[in-house]
Structure 1
Amino acid sequence: MSISLDSEVARAAIAKRDLVVDLARVACVLLVVVIHLLMIGVGIGANGAIIASRPLEAQPWFAAATWAGQIMPLFFALGGFTALTAWRSLERRGGDQVDFVRGRVLRLARPALPLFLFFSVALGAATLAGVDPALLDTVATGVGSPLWFLGAFLLAQSFAPMMVRLHETAPARTMLVLFAGAVLVDAARIATGIDEIGLANLVFVWFFVQQLGFWYSDGWFRARRPAQLLGLVAIAYAALAGLVVAGWYSPDMLVNLNPPTVPLALLGVAQVSLLSLVHRPLAALMRGRRMQAGVFFLGSRAMTIYLWHLPVIIAVAGIALLVPPLSPAPGSAAWWFSRIIVFVSVLALVLLVSMPLARFETASTAVPDGFTRPGGPATRLAAAFTFLPAFAVMQFFLDLPIAIGGALSLAIALWLLRSRPARNA
């Protein structure tokens, strides 16, 4: 939603916002773009065939860097902040849980549908054109990898109203139960070697991190003294180090992402504490009109940027192959230096792509006058149809059947959530 910074209404709205949350959300999205840009290397092999590599992961310091660069826990905590704020505002206006879930599903299903349609067409055309199946599988797996987020985030957001109630009645006990559940799930997964058991932590880990956002929203973290926040950071990282040294978890926090594991819950504690620690200088930074305008511009299309940045990165890499001087060997000094130019190019192209697509993200979820919203069963079914494509990508990776099935599933979800003309009494 665009905001006129010159209007009194906008200034009043901004005064009530935690602008640091807006800044942190945009920073997280841009960091994801940078990380993926550094992880994808495309070049020409000695035999003239196209080869794909992952230069960033080949660096000896990569695993250690993920202890700071794995920012998905902070993303979910920020989502918790937004969910609690939105839910309480909706309640004051007389809304209920069905209204909340419908709004959240629309916010995710609308921008996801064009992407799944694009993947269906692109993968279908590449298959018909006879593109090497192994190369196509590698590309599809890569461009589809961020889609897991849609399912996990939707799951956490859909249960936010219930989790807010628990936060209001038993905040500490709720956190302890969620963390203990995450520990038990990981223990069962490690003991049995059955990775699918870890899927239960889509609830325990991400709900725990979302609860951190509730605590942040209620001011608990910012009420702590700097020494206390630093203590929380130290405890979280010390516990994380102990778990890794014990051999229970990989030191690479990307490996611990899907299924989510206890280390991500600990990272969430550290990241929310660090954000609270630097809240004051970041809030001062966000007082500038230009800074606000830039953050709001990017924030209003953050999901579009997140969903489309990898297809754009792959497209830019493919075009660069046509001009050898623009495509240095992945991992070379020239390649690393070129990432700055490529990042600017990718971001510019993603923003260009977002111009027609951002409307799917920013469209109002309000029910027009004279219309009614769908009921609870239809809304819950739409949430399931939105969750399934992302879960399928998480478990089986993106391919043509999943792309087509995902597009159909999302179209059904949006059809279920449509506003219907009110019946005359």
Structure 2
Amino acid sequence: MSTKQGPSSRIDSVPVDSAQDVRGIIAQRDLVVDLIRTACVVLVVVVHVTMVGVAVSPDGIAVTSPLQEASWYVPATWAGQVMPLFFAVGGFASAVGWRSTIARGGGVRDFVAKRLVRLFRPAVPLFAVLAVGLGIASALGTPADLLGEVAFGIGSPLWFLAAYGITQCCVPVMARLHARAPWRTLGVLLLLAVAVDALRFATGAAEVGLLNLGPVWLFAQQLGFLWADGWFARRSRVLLAAVALAGFALLVPLTSVGLWAPDMLQDLNPPMLPLAVLAVSQVCLVQLVHRPLTRLVRTRAAQATVFVLGRDGMAIYLWHLPLYIALNGVALLLAVPFPAPGSGTWWATRPVALVLVLAAAIGVARALRRWDRPLPRVEPGTDRPGWAVVAVAVLCTVGPAFVVMQWHLSFPVAVLGAVAVPVGVWLLGRTRPLPLPRRV
């Protein structure tokens, strides 16, 4: 399905006046984007299944990280760090979603409410289960060090909710900036990312890097806007290859001066400049293989995979680590022999672990399907909540995930999420009647 469009098709620059125009906007959906989104989720599961190892010895149970101990780990992160691409894919979807919202007569509050509800509603049962589970584990006297390490692992993917929620709230503003000055917007975001990293290095305060949750991830999102415009599709393969290679070549000196880590996963939280550079190379590489990926996604096998994994992608992402740790716990209770993490036997069992985790995550996603439904359209004569309510809802939804990202998961933080996130989702789902027109 082609996404090539003329220059006038930039986000927000085309008036939409008919149902046919709405169908045309929705038709911009690129099945390759769905395939990539699904592949990114699966790759994240692969990384975590190979990164977390459980070692059982007479001294007790320890959690290790075999992947990070591998000699090839650091160069592998240059290919395995897919979060920049994930945010670019999100930018593509957001661009189409924003135009569709405008076409249907919606506005900023409507768009933000729909996107945040779709993002955070699947997290409601997760926070509830985490609160109960951590509470029971604490009451049973689980060693604090082991419980803290497990909670840290379980909560590590939740940073994405905070970062992606922030970028989604910014889509209407960034879409307008993109329509007016796409390259200037990208340039300013890149300069801001450099400035934040420079301030972080100068002060030695890692917390300063949190400011880059905006510039770095919004930069990747803006690339997704260009992608939705068809800009990359109109570039020659030679140029795309040259830009992709230039990006990777630039990463070599950037990560060799001692400021940015060559480990792309280490540059993730808070995000740093190399991830913005990596985003450019990744989007160019995707466009280079867009034609074969298009042929692939037309096959029944690929469509079935995307259908099974893609439609529950967020639930799989949120639940895979808790389920992986729970499955290891069940194996411990059943006295299943554990191979030494990092051994040949351990690596040979990773495909089995991956299948089991994905199957369990899909099962949980199916059981919790009611928590993954989109927000319905507003009825005629009604509107989304006012700005004050939306602001409170954003704080309730994004806030707990931000706390996890900064201070890690714990029982109190899980309780905060179990209370605040459903309140935020409920507030975003409310509507209010439009005021009646005044009689003249």
TM-score computed with the length of structure 1 as normaliser: 0.94
Deviations 1:164-193 (A, max 9, x none): 111110011001000001001101111111
Q: Which residue of 2 aligns with 1:35?
A: 47
Q: Distance in 1 between matches of 2:406 and 2:362?
A: 30
Q: CA deviation at 1:323?
A: 4.5
Q: Which residue of 1 aligns with 2:410?
A: 399
Q: Distance in 1 between matches of 2:77 and 2:429?
A: 41
SS at match of 1:222: helix
Between 1:355-364 and 1:12-21, the stretch displaced more is 12-21
Q: Which residue of 2 aligns with 1:6?
A: none
Q: CA deviation at 1:210?
A: 0.5
Deviations 1:88-136 (A, max 9, x none): 1111111111100011111122111111111000000001111111110
Q: Distance in 2 between matches of 1:12 and 1:200?
A: 37
Q: Distance in 1 between matches of 2:382 and 2:102?
A: 20
Q: Distance in 2 between matches of 1:372 and 1:391?
A: 29
Q: Is the 8 A contact 1:181 1:204 kept in 2?
A: yes
Q: CA deviation at 1:253?
A: 0.8
Q: Distance in 2 between matches of 1:14 and 1:128?
A: 51
Q: Which residue of 1 aligns with 2:235?
A: 224
Could you tell me which of 105, 108, 115 is aligned with 1:104?
115
Q: Distance in 1 between matches of 2:265 and 2:100?
A: 35
Q: Which residue of 2 aligns with 1:257?
A: 268
Q: Which residue of 2 aligns with 1:319?
A: 330
Q: CA deviation at 1:59?
A: 0.6
Q: CA deviation at 1:369?
A: 5.7
Q: Is the 8 A contact 1:22 1:296 kept in 2?
A: no
Task: Output aligned runs, 1:144-163, within 5 Å.
Answer: 144-163=155-174
- CA RMSD in angstroms, aligned pairs only: 1.8
Residue identity opposite 1:250 in structure 2:
A
Q: Which residue of 1 aligns with 2:31?
A: 19
Residue identity opposite 1:259 in structure 2:
P
Deviations 1:1-30 (A, max 9, x none): xxxxxxxxxx99996420000000000000
Q: CA deviation at 1:359?
A: 2.5
Residue identity opposite 2:43 in structure 1:
L
Structure 1 180/421 Cα, relative in aligned 2: closer, same or farther at 3 Å? Answer: closer
Between 1:297-306 and 1:117-126, the stretch displaced more is 297-306
Q: Distance in 2 between matches of 1:214 and 1:64?
A: 29
Structure 1 95/424 Cα, relative in aligned 2: closer, same or farther at 3 Å? Answer: closer
Could you tell me which of 310, 323, 332 is aligned with 1:299?
310
Q: Which residue of 2 aligns with 1:180?
A: 191
Q: Is the 8 A contact 2:25 2:100 kept in 1?
A: no
Structure 1 85/16 Cα, relative in aligned 2: closer, same or farther at 3 Å? Answer: closer
Deviations 1:225-280 (A, max 9, x none): 11111111111111111111111111111110011000000110011000000000
Residue identity opposite 1:40 in structure 2:
V
Q: CA deviation at 1:372?
A: 4.0
Task: Output aligned runs, 1:241-256, within 5 Å.
Answer: 241-256=252-267
Structure 1 167/421 Cα, relative in aligned 2: closer, same or farther at 3 Å? Answer: closer
Q: Distance in 1 between matches of 2:376 and 2:311?
A: 15
Q: CA deviation at 1:424?
A: 9.1
Does 2:100 align with 1:79?
no
Residue ranges of structure 1 left out of the alignment (5+ in a row): 1-10
Q: Is the 8 A contact 1:97 1:161 kept in 2?
A: yes
Q: Which residue of 2 aligns with 1:62?
A: 73
Structure 1 423/284 Cα, relative in aligned 2: closer, same or farther at 3 Å? Answer: closer
Q: Distance in 2 between matches of 1:96 and 1:372?
A: 10
Q: CA deviation at 1:402?
A: 0.4
Q: Distance in 2 between matches of 1:189 and 1:31?
A: 30
Deviations 1:281-323 (A, max 9, x none): 0011111244223313321110000000001110111122234
SS at match of 2:40: helix
Could you tell me which of 105, 120, 129 is aligned with 2:140?
129
Structure 1 160/13 Cα, relative in aligned 2: closer, same or farther at 3 Å? Answer: closer
Residue identity opposite 1:163 in structure 2:
M
Q: CA deviation at 1:421?
A: 6.4
Q: Distance in 1 between matches of 2:391 and 2:84?
A: 25
Q: Is the 8 A contact 1:367 1:419 kept in 2?
A: no
SS at match of 2:255: helix
Deviations 1:198-232 (A, max 9, x none): 11100110111100000111111111111111111
Residue identity opposite 1:85 in structure 2:
V
Q: Distance in 1 between matches of 2:369 and 2:52?
A: 26
Q: Is the 8 A contact 2:383 2:433 kept in 1?
A: yes
Residue identity opposite 1:24 in structure 2:
I
Residue identity opposite 2:80 in structure 1:
G
Task: Output aligned runs, 1:325-364, within 5 Å.
Answer: 325-364=336-375
TM-score computed with the length of structure 2 as normaliser: 0.90
Structure 1 81/13 Cα, relative in aligned 2: closer, same or farther at 3 Å? Answer: closer
SS at match of 1:247: coil
Residue ranges of structure 2 left out of the alignment (5+ in a row): 1-22
Q: Which residue of 2 aligns with 1:207?
A: 218
Q: CA deviation at 1:408?
A: 1.3
Q: CA deviation at 1:43?
A: 2.2
Could you tell me which of 229, 240, 248 is aligned with 1:237?
248
